[in-house]
């Protein structure tokens, strides 16, 4: 059977273009969207449903082999712009360079880790008015370092995180409801 290549889940063309070595700024990616307010990508009901733990069979393999997940998600009741600035605020003191493109961000660690620089891609989706889902994915570097980074980052994000499916979340559910709801 001839080899078939998986389709990439996400296109990082626009984000990658920012890292384009070409010095000529006129070569930067041309906005594919029409002029007008840019909004975060919407996440439809089925995309939301598919984030269920019951539907993510990859954990059958990961848990059994002690593999660690390469992505994490949380929801927020804040606006997408607020989320972006909060992430930026929290990531920079941790030694991360932040590049933004619409509602995708690329965080690049300044330090060299076990497998090179840690690179994290963040994407914000609009699930409903006043409800966003934020996905953080490791796009380079060591997975364990990614988890350490996220642990540190989440302290800085306490104000915007509403709920997280992160298993390592230690906060009491009762306590976190009061503590993490941001002022609207």
Partner 1 sequence: MNSTNRNNSFLSSSLTMGERICSAFIPFVAVIDFLIYAMANCFECRPRHKKIRYGFTDLTRLSNETRFTVNEVEALYELFKKLSSSIIDDGLIHKEELRLALFQTPFGENLLLDRVFDLFDEKKNGVIEFEEFVRALNVFHPYAPIEAKIDFAFRLYDLRQTGFIEREEVKQMVVAILMESDMILSDDLLEAIIDQTFADADADKDGRINKEEWKAFVLRNPSVLKNMTLPHLKDITTLFPSFVHDTEVEDL
Under the binding rule (CB under 8 A), the answer on residue 127 touching partner 1 is yes
Tokens of 86: 């909060």
Q: Is 45 a residue that touches partner 1 (CB under 8 A)?
A: yes
- Residue found under tokens 């990859």: 58
Candidate residues 51, 85, 151, 181; the one interacting with partner 1 per rule CB under 8 A = 51
**Strand partners of residue 97:** 108
- CB of 5 or CB of 37, closer to partner 1: 5
Stretch that binds partner 1, among 20-28, 95-103, 104-112, 162-170 (CB under 8 A): 162-170
Question: Of the two residues 70 and 117, which places its CB atom closer to partner 1 in the complex?
Answer: 70
Do the beta carbons of residue 10 and residue 43 sit within 8 Å?
A: no
Query: Do residues 113 and 54 lie in contact, with contact meaning Cβ atoms separated by under 8 Å?
Result: no
Q: Total number of residues binding partner 1 (CB under 8 A)?
A: 41
E strand segments, 44-130: 71-76, 96-101, 104-113, 116-128
* 154 part of the interface to partner 1, by CB under 8 A: no
Q: How far is the CB of 78 from partner 1 (least distance, A)?
A: 15
For residue 117, what are its two tokens? 């620089």
DSSP 168: T
The residue range among 4-12, 22-30, 100-108, 146-154 that interacts with partner 1, by the rule CB under 8 A, is 4-12
CB 142 within 8 A of CB 125: no
- Give the residue with the Cβ less far from partner 1, 4 or 32: 4
- Using the minimum distance from each CB to partner 1, give the nearer residue, 30 or 57: 57
Cβ burial, residue 60 (10 Å; 0-12/13-18/19+)? exposed
The residues that touch partner 1, with contacts defined as CB under 8 A, are: 1, 4, 6-7, 9-10, 42, 44-65, 75, 127-131, 162-165, 167, 173
């Amino acid at each position: 059977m001839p080899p078939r290549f998986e389709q990439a889940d996400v296109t990082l063309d626009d984000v990658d273009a920012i890292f384009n070595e070409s010095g000529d700024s006129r070569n930067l990616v041309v906005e594919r969207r029409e002029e007008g307010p840019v909004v975060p990508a919407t996440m439809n009901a089925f995309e939301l449903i598919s984030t269920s733990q019951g539907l993510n069979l990859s954990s059958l393999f990961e848990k059994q082999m002690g593999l660690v997940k390469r992505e994490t998600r949380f929801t927020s009741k804040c606006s997408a712009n607020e989320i972006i600035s909060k992430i930026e605020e929290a990531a920079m003191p941790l030694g991360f360079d932040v590049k933004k493109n619409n509602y995708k961000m690329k965080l690049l660690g300044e330090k060299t880790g076990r497998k090179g620089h840690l690179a994290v891609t963040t994407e914000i989706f609009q699930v409903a008015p006043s409800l966003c889902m934020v996905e953080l994915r490791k796009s380079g570097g060591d997975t364990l370092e990614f988890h350490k980074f996220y642990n540190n980052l989440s302290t800085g994000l306490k104000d915007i995180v509403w709920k997280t499916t992160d298993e390592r979340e230690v906060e009491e559910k009762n306590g976190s409801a009061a503590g993490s709801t941001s002022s609207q």
